[in-house]
Each structure stands twice: as structure tokens, then as C-alpha cells.
Structure 1
Amino acid sequence: MAELVPPQLLEHVAERFRVLGDATRLGILRALLENGDLNVGEIVARLETTQANVSKHLGVLLRAGIVSRRAVGTTAYYAIADPSLGRLCDIVCDRLREQNAEEARIFAAT
């Protein structure tokens, strides 16, 4: 069984979940997980949103240590910096799939 988080760290855990609790930021992370390093323009094209919106959310992810940035000439490329992110996504998505399958079975039986 996993060790419980000490009470003094709960605010840090809550902040991590707040950072991950935004659909645009999750879209950015998905794009990076699927494609590897991307620049802002490439992320904008994949998310079909604005450059300002992507830049704002990349700043939040960067400050949280979830993504990293490296400069190549005048272009900045972003990558996943937190190796636990893939596992966390797998856990959450697998559980949602299980719940949806269970709900579908219930609806099919009625």
C-alpha cells in the first residue's frame, strides 16, 4: 500500500492537481506525450487554439516543472520533464475506461 502524504505536503499535491486540472494544459501534455518535443507553433496547430493561450499554459506547466524548454536558435521546444506524468495519465485514463465500460453494461442491461 502506498504511503500517505504527510499533512505538510498536501498543499503541494493540491497545487500539482490544480496545474493538471485544465483541459488546455492536458491537451498540451497529450501532444507532447504523443509527438515528443514541439515548439509553440506546432502545439497551436495540434490544439487549434491561439499562440497566446498556448504560451500562457506552457508557462504554468514550465513553472510547475512538468515541462522543460530548450532553445534552438530563436525557437523554443517543449518536452515532458516529469517522467511520472505518463504513468499518472495511464492510471487515470484506465480507471475512466473501466468506469465507462461498467456504466455501459448497466445501461445495456436496463
Structure 2
Amino acid sequence: MKLDFNDLERVANLFRVFAEATRLALLQELKDRPKSVGELVDALPTTQANVSKQLKMLYDSGLVTRTKQGTSVIYEICEPMVFELCKIACDKLNRPASKPRKLSF
């Protein structure tokens, strides 16, 4: 099936979501369990404002959900394809033609 240009734009927009290291770090932090914004801020070497900005992009793209629990907002991955796509990317980077360091998501 050949995609039209609008469909290709939608695919490109999804790939743009994965094209930022902080967003990938957030997805990696959420891999094992849902976490609050505060937990995510503590886990990453960036500001609360940047974490919130990147979480909004992940939420707007439909990759994570958020729920309010008291004064906290809890984020959780809701799209399992995140792990499949990251595994494919890590497998490509682990091939002999690239750096010898093994990567895993």
C-alpha cells in the first residue's frame, strides 16, 4: 500500500517524537512502571520545565497517558509499539558496522 503525502506527514511526525533524547529517556524511565512527574524529574539530568514539556509531547502523540492522583500527575506508556520501535533501533546500532557498545531499551 502506497501512502499519500498526508499519511507520510503523520508518520514523520511520530518519528519526530522519538528524535529527542529526553523523550527517549522518559520512555525508558516509564518502561517498568508508571511514575509521577517528580520521580521523572529526579531521574533525569534536566529541569522540571523540560520534563513537563517533553511529557506533553509524548502525551499529545498518544504514546503515554496521564492520571491525576492528589497533587501528582502520573504518566504511563499506553502504546506498546514504543518498545518494538526502540528495540529495532537498538538492534540496528548493535550491528558490527556501528560502535561496539551494546545498547538496550
Match of 1:20?
Answer: 18
Q: What is the alpha-carbon distance in structure 1 between the residues aligned to residue 60 and residue 34 of structure 2?
A: 17
Over 6 Å off, 4+ runs: none
How many residue pairs end up in the alignment?
A: 100
Match of 1:66?
Answer: 63
Amino acid at match of 1:83: P
- Match for residue 102 of structure 1 among 92, 97, 100: 97
Q: What is the alpha-carbon distance in structure 2 between the residues aligned to residue 104 and residue 78 of structure 1?
A: 33
CA displacement, residues 23-57 of structure 1 (integer Å, 9 cap, x when unaligned):
11111111111x31011111111112111110011
Match of 2:90?
Answer: 93
Look at both structures and tell me which one has the larger radius of gyration over its CA atoms: 1
TM-score by length of 2: 0.86
CA RMSD of aligned residues (A): 1.7
Q: 1:76 to 1:8 in 2, by over 3 A?
A: same
% identical equivalent positions: 42
The gaps in structure 1 that reach 5 residues or longer are 106-110
